[in-house]
A and B are shown apart, each in its own frame.
Chain A
Amino acid sequence: MMLRQASRLLAGSVRLSRRPFSTATEVPAAATTTNADSGFMESWKKVIPNIDPPKTPSHFMNPRPATPSSIPSKITVNFVLPYASELSAKELGLFGLYAFLLTCFLVECDNESVGKEVVGEAEVWNRQWEVVARSFFRVLRKVVVPTQRKKGEVMVMAQESGGEGEMVAAAKQREGKEVDMVIIPATTGQMGVLPGHVPTIAELKPGILSVHEGNDVTKYFLSSGFAFIHANSVADVIAVEAVPVDHIDPSLVQKGLTDFTQKLSSATTELDKAEAQIGVDIHSALNAALSG
């Protein structure tokens, strides 16, 4: 009983002392913090009123451009690779890369629908992934349902996702590229993305990404990845490996195709068959890219 009263008194004193502190510490923070952090700031101040809240990742990131009320004339494409960038944008490239990793995680969860079930499953996972899992849901909610963007937790997962290290790499800040249309090679077929496109997350298959700007078309061959199309006509395209079509060597493609078709016919185990099938898919896509 004493303990209960003690905690109540403590809470009471915290509440009283919070007012002078909140005005003092919030002024510098408010200038740079977006609304996204207000929840974190409040809970911090409730528990630790005497220490300034740490700077969250949101503090360093520019907020996502707001959804314009009318459809813009151009779509901004961020095309981000782990090691380089083709057309990519400030901050949003980072966000896209993290979102990509998050989506990989979700795909690994064997659940391709973005829904409450996923969150339920994800949150049951052990501590290491808990932070990651919560951030997934927030990120995906932002992408699929365009409301205000909370960026706080997203950064944490970059360090924790580990896995096959190649995909986790620092993406630098760059300028955005505004184009008229991009055609992305989604698993459901070639998808054309124009400004004002419905927010979508598309898993990509090996294929060509074509960027149309006025009369110029630039084509890149992507190995696989994801494309996130946001409500504010910004698209993030993320791939592990992407090359302009002229960098592909046709003789190697033909050789690879014949090799893998042969492996496919002689494969015995499920695993061999799957690997050969992947080989055949990618080489035939390369072939189509070269001739198309």
Chain B
Amino acid sequence: MASTSAAVPFWRSAGITYVAYSNVCANLLRNCLKEPHKSEALTREKVHFSRSNWTDGKPQKPTLRSDTPED
């Protein structure tokens, strides 16, 4: 097991994971594009998922998350 690791990036110490960091960077970049490219890019940002927790082998009420690009 690694002991306390060396220089941790600032986003990691604040609780953001690499995947989240990378997505935030990508979103910010998309927001800075010129018009025709920007609308195409924004379509790529959309995330849709439905999540349900399971207890006793049965799914509970699912939460549907349909994301529009905003943070």
Chain A residues with a Cβ under 8 A of chain B: 83, 104, 107-108, 110-113, 117, 120-121, 163-167, 206, 221, 223-225, 240-241, 243, 246-249, 252-253, 256, 270-271, 273-275, 277-279, 282-283, 286
Contacts and interface: CB of A to CB of B under 8 A. Distances in A.
Interface string B3-33: 0010010111111111111111110111111
A279 to B, nearest CB: 6
3 residue pairs, one from A and one from B, having the closest CB atoms: A274-B14, A241-B26, A240-B26
12 contacts: A164-B23, A164-B47, A224-B21, A225-B22, A240-B25, A241-B25, A243-B33, A243-B37, A247-B37, A256-B31, A271-B15, A278-B28
A241 B30 CA distance: 8
A107 B37 CA distance: 31
Contacts of B16: 271, 274-275, 278
A121 to B, nearest CB: 6
Contacts of A104: 18-19, 22
Contacts, number: 113
Contacts of A274: 10-11, 13-16
Interface of B: 1-2, 5, 8, 10-26, 28-35, 37-38, 41, 44-45, 47, 49, 71
Contacts of B32: 248-249, 252-253, 256, 283, 286
A164 B19 contact: yes
B1 A248 contact: no
A108 B18 contact: yes
